[in-house]
Amino acid sequence: MNTASDILICRGVRSRYPDGTLALDAVDVSIKRGERVALIGPNGAGKSTLLRVLPGLQPFDGTVIVDGIVLSDKTQREVRQRIGLVFQNPDDQLFSPTIGEDVGFGPAAMGCSRTEVRERTASALAAMGLETLGPKNPLHLSFGERRRAAIATVLAMHPSLLAMDEPGSNLDPLHRRRLIAWLCEHEEYTLLLATHDLDMAAQTCDRVLLLSQHIVADGSARSILTDTALLTAHGLEPPLGLQELRFRGE
Ligand X SMILES: Nc1ncnc2c1ncn2[C@@H]1O[C@H](COP(=O)(O)OP(=O)(O)OP(=O)(O)O)[C@@H](O)[C@H]1O
Q: What single string gives the DSSP state of each residue in 185-209?
A: H-TTSEEEEE-S-HHHHHHH-SEEE
**Are 80 and 66 within 8 A, CB to CB?**
no
When CB distances are held under 5 to 8 angstroms depending on the partner's kind, the choice from ligand X, Mg ion, none that residue 49 binds is ligand X
Cβ proximity of 59 and 132 under 8 Å: no
- Binds Mg ion (CB under 5 A): choice among 8, 27, 48, 162: 48
Residue 44 contacts ligand X per CB under 6 A:
yes
Give the nearer residue to ligand X in terms of CB position, either 41 or 84.
41
Q: Does 213 participate in binding Mg ion (rule CB under 5 A)?
A: no
Q: Among the candidate windows 83-91, 185-193, 210-218, 240-248, which touches Mg ion by CB under 5 A? A: 83-91
Specify the stretch interacting with ligand X by CB under 6 A; choose among 41-49, 65-73, 156-164, 168-176. 41-49
Stretch that binds ligand X, among 38-46, 61-69, 153-161, 199-207 (CB under 6 A): 38-46
Cα gap 159→62, rounded to integer Å: 24
146 binds, among Mg ion, ligand X, none (CB under 5 to 8 A by kind): none
In the region spanning residues 54 to 113, those forming contacts with ligand X, defined by CB under 6 A, are: 88
190 binds Mg ion (CB under 5 A): no
Continuous H helices in the chain: 47-53, 76-82, 99-109, 114-127, 143-155, 173-185, 198-204, 221-225, 228-233
* 180 SS3 class: helix
Candidates 2, 43, 132, 243: give the one binding ligand X (CB under 6 A). 43
